[in-house]
Structure 1
C-alpha cells in the first residue's frame, strides 16, 4: 500500500498500519517490565511523530490545495512558500522518527533493547524501510528537485544535515556501549544515516541522482539481511542463557562455531569490510555521492565506517579471542540446532551470496530510482 500510494493521505494511513502492530510487538513480553515500558514509550513518541507528520501534510494541503503527489508537484506555490516549507519540515520530522534518525532517534535504543530480539530485528530493518519508502518516493515525486530549489524549500539540505548527524551520533554512541543488543540498536541508527545519503546527495540535474538513490536502496537490502541475522544471533544467545554484554560472549565459538562464524560475517559486513556485501553497498553509495558533488558527505560516511569497525570487531574478538571467566558456564549452554539457528545461518549465507549477485541488485535498484526523476 505504501509503495503504491499516490496521495499523502494514503501514505499516512499506510505508515500507521506499519506502526501500530510495532507498538504491540515491542511490548509483547507482558511479564517483562522493560518490554512493556519500551512499548509504552515507543507508542507515545510514535503518536507524537504521527501528529507532527499529519500536521505537516495539512500545511502542504493548505499551500497546494491537493493531497495527490503529482498535483502537489504541479501546483503553484507563489506567496505560500513559507507555509509549504514548514509543512515539508514537519513531514521530514515524521520520516526521521520512522527511520530512527537524530534527533528523533531516542525511542530506538529503548524499544530495541526492551523488545524480544526477533522483534528488534524486524523494527530495525523491515519497519524502518517503510520510512525510507516515504523519503525516497514522496519527496522526489511531490516536491521535485527543481520546485524545492525555486521555492526555497531545500529538503535535500535538511536530509543532508540529518544524514551527517545521524551516522555520526549513531556510530559514536554504539562505540561506548557494553551490551551487544544496545550496541546493535545504536549501529542501526548509524546505518539510517548512510541510507539517508540516498536523498541527501540529490541535486538538480545531478549526473548520479538515480545511482545514489539506487545505491541507498541496495544498501537497505543488504542491511536487512546482515542486521536481522545479528539480532537473531542475540536472540539465540539469550535463549541459551548467555548474558547481554560483550564479556558474556567470550569463547562462545567453542560451543557454537557455525553460529559464531555467521555472526562474524554479519559484523564485518555491517562494518563495510571487503569482500562482504556491506562493503560493496557502501562503496556504490559513497561513490555516487561523490559523483553528485557530495565529497564531504561521502568522506564523513567513510570515517564513520572506520569508527564502526571498532565496536563490531569487539563482538568478533569476544567470540573468538577472549577467554570466558567461567569455562563451566560454556558447558552448560544448550546449543542444539533450532529454527532460530537455521535462520541465523540462512541470513549469513544470503549475505555472502549477495556478493556475486550484487551487480543485478544495484542495476535493478538504480532503474527503480531513476524512474522517480
Structure 2
C-alpha cells in the first residue's frame, strides 16, 4: 500500500465552487423565534390570529391610505380567487402576456376563464395598454379582463392601465408577483408573491392589495370556506388562509426589510459594475438602482442564450430562463389563442437569468463576468 503512484492529484479546479442560479435567504431562526414565542403564549396558530393580522396591517402601511390586504397560501391562488371574486362571465377571455411565468395563465384557467396570449414590448418586456386597445377588435371572443405583469419586479405604467380600465370597462389586475419593492398603489388590484425566491419571502404565500373594500371582502371569503361574519358557508369557496407560522416569518422579514433592501442594492450594483465592459449584457431599466428584485434577468444578443448558457454551465455557473420561451409554448396552454408574438419569441432567445443572491460576493460576481466574457467572445 506504500507509494503514491495511484493518487489523484487534486488541483484547485476540482474544488471549484458551483455558483447556483438562485440562493434564497429567509429570516433566520433567531429572528423568527420571538414571534413563535408570542404565538405559543397566545395559543393561536391559524384562523387570522394576532401575528397574521399584524403582518397584514404592516403590509398595508406600505400602500396608500385605504388599502386592504388579503393574504393567501400563494400568489397563484390569490390571482385565481381575485378573478373569481370579480364575478366575470364564465369562459370569457382574459388578456395576458405570453411572456410571463406560467402561474399567470394557470390562475386564469383555474378561475373558469380563458387566457388570450398577447405580445409584450421588446424594450421593457411588458404588456402595453395601447397593444390591448389595438387588439380588442380582433379578440377571439368576449374579453372581460386583462392582467399586465410586472416583469421580474419592474413596475408597468399604472396610469395607462387605469385609463384603459376607464375607457373599456375591462377589469385590470396587476400580476406583481416579483414587485414587492415597487408595489405601492392599490387602485389597480395587485397580487404580490411571498415565495421563498422573492425579495420578501416567507416560504410560500402571497397577498392581494386593493383599495376596493368589497373586492377584498369577497376574496377573503373565498379563502375561508365561504364564511363571512358567521360560520355558515355562504358561497362555494376553499381554504387558502395563511397560518400564524407564516405570519411569524413575515413579521421577521419585514423587521429586516430595510437592511435587506440595502444588501440587494449593493449586490445589484456590484453586478452592474462587473458588466461595465460588456455592453452586450443589458439590464432592465432601473434594476438595482431604482428598484430591487431577487433575480438578475439580462438581455443578450438575439439567439445567443443557448451558447451562453452552455459556456457558463461548463464553468459551474448556473443560469435560469425564468419565463423560458413564453406561456404559449407550454403544452398545457396549446389550445388557447395567441396573437403574433415576435417580441416574446425574441426575448425567449435572448433573456437569461444570471446567478443572483442577496449575499453574493465579489469573487462570485467576478467569475460570472469572466465567464460571460468568454461566452460572448466566442460568438
Per the normalisation by structure 2, the TM-score is 0.23
Relative contact order (alpha carbons < 8 A, sep ≥ 6): 1 or 2 greater?
2
